[in-house]
Amino acid sequence: MDTRLLQRNDLAYRFETFTLDSADGQRHYQVWVGLPHRPAPAKGYPALYMLDGNAAVEALDPALLAQLDQGQAPVLVAVGYAGGQRIDRSGRTFDYTPQRPAGEQRDPMTGEPSGGAQAFLRLLQGPIAERVNALAPVDTQRTALWGHSYGGLFTLGVLLDQPSAFATYIAASPSLWWAPGWATRRSLGLAGRLEAPRRLWLMHGEAEPARPRPNLPPAQETAAGLARVLSAVPRLSVRYQGFPGLGHGPMLAASLRQALRWLNEEGGM
């Protein structure tokens, strides 16, 4: 991964970093925290937690950071993996996927261990959030979570199971094929779990394939269809955007940059 931006001292943000391990000691994380230079609001800064943090920081640039500083100025929390790989396939396969209802917890595409989403959420809400809050005061009522692909699947899972964890959920190109029909089924009880209004922003590249590999079944759900289903949930505001001509890979940077623009425009982030 390219970390040259994070080392510059002429930006609207400064970056701090820390490392920590998973509770079972099997995965090792590096977290980059982008801190605005402007003073914190009385209730603290808004914050955006970004999954696949190694790749997420590469989507940032000086002009975008300057725009954020002139707008909502959120704290940026890029949760990546130690080692410098842009995408840590094994780590994210385990961390970002829900448990399957029955059978061995193996990823259907890679065969690697999966099903660690609940443990990873505890890490986000516990040790990682504690370290972030020690660096800057954060308004817990104005936090957002962004994820792409498996990260989008994780983001949806947190909203559907524990919607109080964040205020805004941004799921880009979620891997809905991973557990066909799972998101729609979980949405049936979402209204009863929403203790306060929440926002969901769904994005999808219009050139993305229906399945990641020919030997896997296509998703029973689409991001656009899921947006329509979830739009009927009381107290959940849903926004959907398709990206013409974009495939799965390019959607990572495009969706993150769009999410940051939307967050910067929204006065109630």
H helices of the chain, in order, are 53-56, 62-70, 89-95, 117-123, 129-135, 150-161, 182-187, 190-193, 223-230, 251-265
Judge whether residue 268 has pLDDT over 50: no
d(CA 247, CA 254): 10
pLDDT tens-digit map of 126-152: 999 999 999 999 999 999 999 999 999
pLDDT in tens, 162-204: 999 999 999 999 999 988 888 999 999 999 999 999 999 999 9
Domain count across the chain: 1
Cα–Cα distance, 164 to 257 (Å, whole number): 25
The closest of 113, 87, 49 to 260, measured between CA atoms, is 49
What is the band of 217 on the pLDDT scale with cuts at 50, 70, 90? low
User: Residues 234-237: contacts with CB within 8 Å, 24+ apart?
Assistant: 234/191, 234/194, 235/191, 235/194, 235/196, 235/197, 235/198, 236/190, 236/191, 236/194, 236/197, 236/198, 236/199, 236/200, 237/197, 237/198, 237/199, 237/200
Supply the CATH number for residue 71's domain: 3.40.50.1820
* Domain around 183: 5-265
Lowest mean pLDDT segment, chosen from 105-109, 226-230, 231-235, 265-269 = 265-269
The residues carrying an active-site annotation are: 149, 208, 248
Q: What is the mean pLDDT of residues 233-246?
A: 97
